Amino acid sequence: MRGRVVLPGRAEGEVLACDEPLSFWGGVDPAAGRVIDVRHPLAGRELAGRVLALPGTRGSCTGSGVLLDMALGGRAPAALVFRDEEDVATLGALVAAQLFDRPLPVLRLDAEAFARLSRARRAAIGPDAIETDLGAVPLDPPAADLLELSAEDRAMLDGAHGPAAALAMRILRAMAANQGAERLIDVAQAHIDGCIYASPANLTFAERMLELGARVRIPTTMNAISVDHANWRTQGVAPDFGGPAQRLADAYVRMGCRPSFTCAPYLLEDAPRPGQAVGWSESNAVIYANSVLGARTAKHPDFLDLCIALTGRAPLSGPYLERNRLARRVIEVELPDGIDDAFWPLLGWLAGRLSPDRIPLLRGLAAARPGPEALKALCAAFGATSGAPMLHVEGVTPEAHLLDPDADRARIDRAALREGWRALNRGPEQIDLVAVGSPHASAEECRALADLMQGRKARAALIVTLGRGVLETIRAEGVLARLEAAGARVIPDLCWCSIVEPVFPPKARAVMTNSGKYAHYGPGLSGRAVRFGALAACAEAAATGRAPRDLPSWLS
């Protein structure tokens, strides 16, 4: 039994262990230090001061900001202990130590040592061992820094391009060592996820980097933010939230980022090409870029995304390397007859649960000929339940031939689909709000919703979130006017993962969505009951105020 120090430090506390990964964003309330993911085994448990032992993390890249906020507010775990490779929470702890002098130990244990720690009541972490009531586990020192730096890398590290670039290179160097990377590579573009106001720590970090003179070196787009940038005041958003959220977005724009404000950058005109190395954050975007576009990016945590944008460099590790893009689990899927668009997010959510720590290959789907909309929904829901950076669909995605010969097998049959459907449909039939646009709605999705609502008027609140580019497209086509005539509110810049009251109707108690991602995160984020279904079922719920009572025909 052995472990390794990832980030050093001393800590002691009660052990809180679980064998299921956790997304800090959407799964943990940083202000309370408590797990809010209602589907997680640790739901309701307090994390502050505990030695938290998890296999790894999953879900959103924004978890690093949540962890940093917990550290700055004194609500963080005493230490983080992982069994598998982990970057998101580790990066939050690294920034807490590097930029704010708040060290938080991070360890990685082998399977046997992790199992022992999970059975212990208390643990004390020192520089070379974890002492528990069940015995000690020796710890190896942090991984050696084997990184080969170019002359330009060294110049940045030495401060030739200013203190912000130097700090970015120090953080990149530390993360590269943790990942075992031997060199950095150039990336063509970056996408910033840290512009979401998930916590005050995101703003603290961005403004500190701006003070240090941060300026991006490569084309850099921005994720959805937490408010409608131009209209949040007239929408009634409280200034103590809207003001900092706008300041955060503006800080990144001042660093040279493009105010695209979308969580679906693959819908933009400059989406990456097959084989192109990029530095993206935002889980659904990363999975779509790798899986569907055939581009190459790791699932970079918040804050590391800016470090990559400031330097134009990323560690050569993870899915940048072909050997790490191999499917190591084959999931045979029973494809029902007559599926609708709800099938794809449901499948993604289930596939992520079946493959939380490795890239899967989904078989049995080629006959359905999924297009970009279906794959968008599949990838987004998969990212909510898996920590893997991509998936393959046999006969559909460009790298589905990348299969480990020792891959294991799993299956999703009709019974599993029904079980998943029921898990995502625990809310009541009466619906107060219909949520479309997680990730951001495409022009095609907006056109389809306008057709479904033609001649009808929304009885329940109907809100669509989307990017600025898509908004301009549907405005020019007259689709926006049609949606608004049906009673829909169409809101740019923010998305459902960051929407707050009163934009989120305060009186709404039950929500219907066509997003597997929001069906997963919504109960914890909003405190509301959630129903899930196809876009047509969402339109019906908007028009009637009621969700369908029965299973869809392809599941019944």
* Residues catalogued as catalytic: 60
Order the strands of the 327-333 sheet from edge to edge. 392-393, 360-363, 327-333, 403-412
CA distance 343 to 553: 11
Tokens 């959407």 locate to 26
Tokens 């899930």 locate to 532
The tokens describing 556, both together, are: 């019944």
The neighbouring-strand residues paired with 4 are: 108, 140
With 0-12 CB in 10 A as exposed, 13-18 as middle and 19+ as buried, what is 275?
A: exposed
Q: Is the dihedral of CA 541, 544, 545, 547 positive or negative?
A: negative
CA distance 542 to 536: 10
Helix (H, G, I), strand (E, B) or coil at 186: strand
Strand-strand pairing, 190-192 and 327-333: unpaired
With 0-12 CB in 10 A as exposed, 13-18 as middle and 19+ as buried, what is 239?
A: exposed
Tokens 């520089």 locate to 127
CA distance 305 to 194: 8
CA distance 185 to 116: 39
